Amino acid sequence: MYKTQPTERVLNLPAGYYGMVLGTIGMGFAWRYASTLWPVTRWPGEILVTLAMVMWLLLTAAFLTRAIRFPRSVLAEMRHPVMSSFVSLFPATTMLVAIGFVPWFRPLALALFTVGVVVQLSYAAWQSAGLWRGKHPEEATTPGLYLPTVANNFISAMACGALGFHDAGLVFLGAGVFSWLSLEPVILQRLRSAGELPSAMRTSLGIQLAPALVACSAWLSVNGGEADTFAKMLFGYGLLQLLFTLRLMPWYLSQPFNASFWSFSFGVSALATTGLHLGQSSPSGFFHAIAIPLFIFTNAIIALLLVRTFILLMQGKLLVRADKATLMQAEERE
């Protein structure tokens, strides 16, 4: 009797895994800011930022390796009505890593920012404008659509603020705000009236928490950190989205924990940073009272996500692998 040879299995990580970088580095930025306000060590922030950079480097190596060896699998992801939006997390996290490098090594930060901006604008023009041809299925209209034009432009504004390009930051902020306002009614209409999301897609609603809070963070980045009326209004809408998110938590938790739960993380980490900014702006009152409780809450959420993800990794359930032969057959069919 002949024994069958085991097939070679290769990493096949979807671009959505970059969501782990978003929340981790966002929490690192919150701790960096906290260390300028309180007599606490700066090391939690530096450790989280470094951890996020390592995640980004490993995910990028895996993504680029797949793009070189099995380009059709990446193209299929880019053409998928839902997964295509998550491909834009590559330039988004590249720009966040650039922000992380600003206090350490500005030339590298500038290089990464340039790459991130060029890629995010190019991909948004290809992916988002491509939806205007009227062929996008209604059931694929999820909060993931915010990523290419809303999240990326807000992050571009944040990077511009960190690098001192305030006018350019306002341009990106405007692009993000008006993209957000045009998409939100369509997405909410689909969520309310076009049938329940499948269980595997429900965690994408975690992205709904992010636009207002990330917009607030971007605005504070380009306006010199002034906690003005507009910042407070954005923060208020973010708190409302947090309330909605908590209301639906049992619905999200109907599936086992997996990497898609990181979709909640960037909005949560932005909640920490913006809450501290607004709390610092006044020695008393509403924002001062909620800043520390929100900071503790967001730390607990990110810590839980990190621990649960590490457990998945140790159990061998985090890294997605596919048969090399299967991927090669798919390449040949294309």
What is residue 1's predicted lDDT score, i.e. its pLDDT?
Answer: 44
Residue 72 has pLDDT above 90, yes or no: no
What is residue 333's predicted lDDT score, i.e. its pLDDT?
Answer: 55
Residue 330 has pLDDT above 60, yes or no: no
Q: Region 253-265: what's the mean pLDDT?
A: 84
Mean pLDDT of the chain: 87
Q: Kindly report, residue by residue over 165-182, the tens digit of the pLDDT.
A: 999 999 999 999 999 999
Helix (H) or strand (E) holding 323: strand 321-323
Q: Region 64-76: what's the mean pLDDT?
A: 86
How far, CA to CA in Å, does 264 sit from each of 156, 252, 313? 20, 11, 19
The residue behind tokens 């969520």 is 191
How far, CA to CA in Å, does 174 sit from each of 88, 95, 185, 219, 277? 19, 18, 18, 10, 21
Residue 229 has pLDDT above 80, yes or no: yes
For the record, the structure tokens of 100 come out as 């992380």
Distance, in Å, from the CA atom of 171 to the CA atom of 174, rounded to the nearest integer, reads 5
Residue type, 161: G
Residue 9 has pLDDT above 70, yes or no: no
Of the chain, the percentage scoring pLDDT greater than 70 comes to 92
Distance, in Å, from the CA atom of 177 to the CA atom of 31, rounded to the nearest integer, reads 26
Question: Is residue 301 classed as helix, strand or coil in its secondary structure?
Answer: helix
Q: Kindly report, residue by residue over 10-22, the tens digit of the pLDDT.
A: 667 788 889 999 9
How far, CA to CA in Å, does 177 sit from each of 78, 181, 264? 24, 6, 20
Q: Region 194-220: what's the mean pLDDT?
A: 87
Of the chain, the percentage scoring pLDDT greater than 90 comes to 53
Confidence of residue 4 (pLDDT cuts 50, 70, 90): very low
pTM for this prediction: 0.89
Residue 69 has pLDDT above 60, yes or no: yes
What is residue 56's predicted lDDT score, i.e. its pLDDT?
Answer: 95
What is residue 11's predicted lDDT score, i.e. its pLDDT?
Answer: 65
Q: Region 92-99: what's the mean pLDDT?
A: 95
Sign of the alpha-carbon torsion through 95, 101, 103, 108: negative
Q: How many CA atoms lie within 13 A of 22 on its CB side?
A: 31
What is residue 2's predicted lDDT score, i.e. its pLDDT?
Answer: 41
Write the CB contacts of 130 (distance below 8 Å, at least 6 apart in sequence): none
